[in-house]
């Protein structure tokens, strides 16, 4: 089985352009998640974060992830109580 690699072209981006990469619903949520890292990330140049800042933001917050249904099934069948609670919560939300 071959694994696909998700490649992202890192370039100067606005907050709005970062939303789909990070899987966040709004700029307000992004601002809240970036708040603890403001000094580390630095100031934007105009409306844009530069390449290094975008790379840092993605590494700090992580890109959007797609989870395979088989992975969720294996978590549900696990005996770990924490994993069972997470799986139960995800089933209620879905």
Confidence of residue 5 (pLDDT cuts 50, 70, 90): low
Model pTM above 0.75:
no
Confidence of residue 33 (pLDDT cuts 50, 70, 90): very high
Confidence of residue 70 (pLDDT cuts 50, 70, 90): low
Over residues 5-32, the mean pLDDT reads: 86
User: Has residue 89 got a pLDDT over 90?
Assistant: no
3-state secondary structure of 45: strand
Long-range contacts (CB closer than 8 Å, 24 or more residues apart) made by 22-25: 22/57, 22/58, 22/61, 22/62, 22/63, 22/64, 23/63, 23/64, 23/65
Query: Cα separation of 51 and 57, whole Å?
Result: 10
C-beta separation of 76 from 87 below 8 A: yes
Query: Residue 80: what pLDDT?
Result: 65
């Amino acid at each position: 089985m071959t694994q696909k690699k998700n490649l992202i072209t890192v370039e100067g981006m606005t907050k709005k352009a970062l939303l789909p990469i990070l899987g966040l619903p709004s700029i307000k949520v992004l601002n809240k998640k970036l708040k603890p890292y403001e000094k580390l990330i630095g100031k934007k140049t105009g409306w844009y974060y530069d390449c290094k800042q975008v790379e840092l933001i993605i590494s700090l917050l992580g890109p959007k992830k797609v989870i395979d249904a088989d992975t969720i099934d294996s978590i549900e069948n696990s005996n770990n109580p924490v994993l069972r609670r997470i799986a139960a919560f995800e089933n209620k939300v879905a």
